[in-house]
Each structure stands twice: as C-alpha cells, then as structure tokens.
Structure 1
Amino acid sequence: MAAAPATLVIATRASRLALWQAEHVQVRLQALYPACRVSLLTMTTRGDQILDRTLSKIGGKGLFVKELETALLDGRADLAVHSLKDVPVDMQSPFALSVILERDDPRDAFVSNDYPSLDALPAGAIVGTSSLRRESQIRQQFPQLKIQALRGNLDTRLGKLDRGDYAAIILAAAGLRRLGLESRIRGYLSIEQSLPAAGQGALGIEILERRSDMHAWLAPLASAEATACTLAERAVSRVLGGSCQVPLAAFAQLDGGTLRVDALVAEPDGSRIIRAHISGPVASAVQLGEQVAGDLLEKGARDILSRLLPADSAS
C-alpha cells in the first residue's frame, strides 16, 4: 500500500447535505490517517444553480458532478464525494468510482405537516417530488393526487412545504436522517410502494482512475454489501440508458450469499409500469443487474425507452 497521505482535499457541493456527506468521509479518513490533513473544497454545481426546471429537462444527474470532476482534473481536489444516485452510471475515463460506503435507509419518505400518509391525502392534493420515478409510481396508485415538480436542496424543499405550496413532499429518507431531520418523516414508503432509485442511500467516492494511491487509501472505507447491491442496481440503469428522463427504479437486497434485484420501468404518467426481479449469487451482482434489465426490455420496456430516450441510449 502507498505510504499514508500527508494531505487530502475533498471536492463537494455546497449544500448542507453534501457538506454532511463530505464531512462524514473527512472524519473517516482522519481516523484512518491521523497525521493527514483532510480539507474540503466546496463548489456550486450547475445542477444547484438551475432550480426552475426539472432535471429531466436540463441535462440530468451529471449536472451535479461536472464541476467537481474539473477540480479532480486540475489537481485542486483528490477525491469527490457524491450521493451515489446522483452519479451517472456510465462514468467515463479518466474518472473512476473508487469506493461505495455503507448505505443508509434506501426508502423514500413521506413528509407532510397535515397528513400522515399518501392514503390520507384528499383528492386534488398537491404532492411535490423531483423524480419521475416517484411520480410514476405515485400516479399509478393515487391517480386522484396532483403531482408537481419540486427542486432545490433539502432545506429549500422543506421550506416550500412549510410555506403551503404542497400538501406533502416525497424525499429520500437517507438525506433527512443524515441531517437530523428524521422527525419530519411522517412515514416511509415501502419498497413495494415506491421502488428506490439505483444507489439511493449510498455514498460514492470519485477519483481519477490513474490515482492508484487514492484507490489504496480509500479501500478501507468500502462496504462489501452496499457495493454488491448498488453495482447490481447501477448495471440495470446502465443497460437501460437510465437518466432523469426515464421513470426507472432498481433495488437490490442481500440475504446471506443471495442477491435479489428488483427493477421497473414506467410511463411518466404511471399508466404502465413494467416490473422484473431476479435472484442469484452475490458474486454475480453486475450480471444479475444486466439480466433483470434484459427481462424488462423483453417485457416491453424497450417501447417506453424508445419514446423517452434518444435512439442509441438503450440496449
């Protein structure tokens, strides 16, 4: 292993949740390498700046990582910490997803000041979400509700709810828990009710692929279980050309040495949701993800994808 690092710089978005995530990695690294000075480089990404349009209309998840990647390239930072669900699944050279850390709760959370659950919302109630994945699943189960786009960081979204713009909002449970806001959660959407996004609840660390020293230094942070599950989920998304333009979900669970992968592709309005699942050995995580994606394509997902994505995006 390379000699212990003397300094490390972590690139991070400037939002409160992104800073929590970067500081979490900072603490972990300082515990591993007590003599190392670990600092943060905070940045505002284009995805943080454009708040009046949905991600599917402005370029997708990559908008949250480009500026951080530039910092890696020009040497201002050694690593970048991301919510894994925001990391494009087709990461290209010279970048590499080095490690995936332990996963927090992957479920979606129901947040409301006036209602205990989606079932309790009256017809016409406005539900805010930033995700076509969530929107399609909610629309199928609760066609009487009105879904509206919700952008901004976590505090901004909660502020819009508190202002009365929405009767309820749907957020990733992990983000609320990490910021000590678990009391805002009125209930959790079950995996069956709202299948999570690939990588939801997990943190990923991006580096330059040529940095073998960084690979070695970061290796102790990796979670074998979270890595297996999220690699399977990301394989589903990669095969299907996953982006914010597609209501796509993938979630893997480990039981002993067996990995179960559930996935879906949906029409944005929820009128049709195609589901598939597969189980197999954890050592075949990526292949299992690819297989369940193939099952979805055979069941009719190709038709949905052909209308929502450019012609060459899906296999």
Structure 2
Amino acid sequence: MPLAPGFIIRSPQYSGAGTGKGLLVRAASQIAFNFSPKAFTSSGERAELEKRLTAALVAADPIIFLDNVNAEVVRSNLLAQIATENPCAIRRFRENTKVVSITSSAFLAMTGNATTVSEDLARRFLIVELDAGCEDPEQRRFDEDFRLTIKEKRNELLAAALTIWRWGRRNQSKPGLALGSFEQWATWCRDPLLALGCPDPVRRISEIKRDDPLRAQVVEFFTTWHELYGERPMKVKELDIRLCRLADPQERGSRQSLASFVARLEGTRAGGFVMLRIKSPSKWSPSSYALKRTE
C-alpha cells in the first residue's frame, strides 16, 4: 500500500523487557514479507535519528524497524513525512544542496518501554500495548519456539490474512473512525477486521495525544489561564508568573519566552479551549490574547 500508519509496540518501563515486542514485529515481517528486519535504535538525538531513517529508506527494505526506543518521546519530521508522503524527498548524505525522491511502502514499526510520540507523529502511529503481567517477563517458559512456529505456518497465516482482505474487498464493511491520509488502509485493512468483531485501533490515537508531553503542557497552560482570567483578553505583560513557568519550565519562566510561547499558540485547540489573538488598533501596541471555550 502506498500509505499506512506505523505501529508502536510498547511495554511498561520497568517490567517491559522480554515481553516479546521485537518478536511480534519479526513475526509480522516473516508472515508478510518472508523477511527478517534489520533493527536499529534511536540515539535520543533528533538529528541522528533522521540520518538513521534516511539510511533505512535508501536500503529499501520492506520494513523500517526502530527498536529499543525506551522511555523516549520521539519527534521526527522525516518519520512523519515517511508515514504520509509517498514518494518523499530526502537529502543525500554529504550533499546539502541535493534532494532525491524515494518511493517507499515500508511498514513502520517501533518498539520500546514507555515509548511515546509527539507533535505530528501522534496521528501517524497506532499503539499496541504488551504487558506480560509479571516482574521478570524474560524468565517465562514456553512449550514451543514461537519463531519456528511462525516460519513453519507462514503460508497458512498469510493465506488467512489475504482471505480476510479479499473478503473485505468483495463486501462493503461498515467504516470505522476516519483517519486522514490513511483512507485506503482503513477501508482495505481495518474495516474488514471491524466486521469480524475486532476493536478499532484508531480510537487509541486520542490516548497517544493525551500522553504527548507537549500537548499536556499546552492543556495545563490553557487550564491555568482560564482559571486566572476566564475569557477576558489579556496582554502578555499582564500575565501571572505561573504561566511563565508553565511556558518555559527549563528557564523557570521569562517574559520573552512567554511572549513567544503564547504567539505560537494562536489558533491552537486543546483541552476544550482555543487561543485567539486580538490585534491592537495601534501599530505600536502589543496584541491581546483571549482563551475561548470550544465545548
């Protein structure tokens, strides 16, 4: 498919090692592509992640597998582009002025303990939670080799998946929740599974957005603003110092950082509010801002 959402398979932070996150990704890759994916990790630095993603795109494997992204908030403009643009443009290594077009239908998979995504990635990934229900998942015993079972039954499992897909193409299913940019995936892959009684994974996007620390910061900022001023228009210089600290906790709040933060929030909707900018009639007077309820 030209476009499909990526998947995050995550576990609890301190008891998630050994739950089988990577095993699940490898099983899906084995069934779909008969291919063992090459996993790479995140260094925690945004620029380095972009380089590793570029290398993975150039390799043109059927799956891009970002593994062991533990206790990290992932932000990446390139990863967001890969998920919703096909073909996408990337910059060649060591050539700052040359851009090449890459066509990729790779399956995007990310695993980790307590992993979250932020900004535009929130709507581009679906979450799978794995919890072994014990403190030391790696010590569990199983009666069979899961990888070997998947490999031996690959034809049977692939045939079952294709049968569901074919049934969905020949019968019109009741659509689930809309997911912009991934309409074909929703109709071809998700809707037939809903008809068979599976839950809609798109419902979990609201949970992903809720867990986004940047979004949570904005919601707290809006809530505090409304508690202090209601819907009255306010200039930045009139705002309480508590809002300064919420806007820029690392620097413990400054008027300059607060002004920039509020300006970026113009038109933002979060927590049941929307930030509106009220331009001053005077050329030299600063604008005012008002927080209005949307619900």
If the TM-score is normalised by the length of the shorter chain, which range does it land in? under 0.3
Between Structure 1 and Structure 2, which shows a larger proportion of strand residues? 1
TM, length-normalised to structure 1: 0.22
Larger Rg: 2
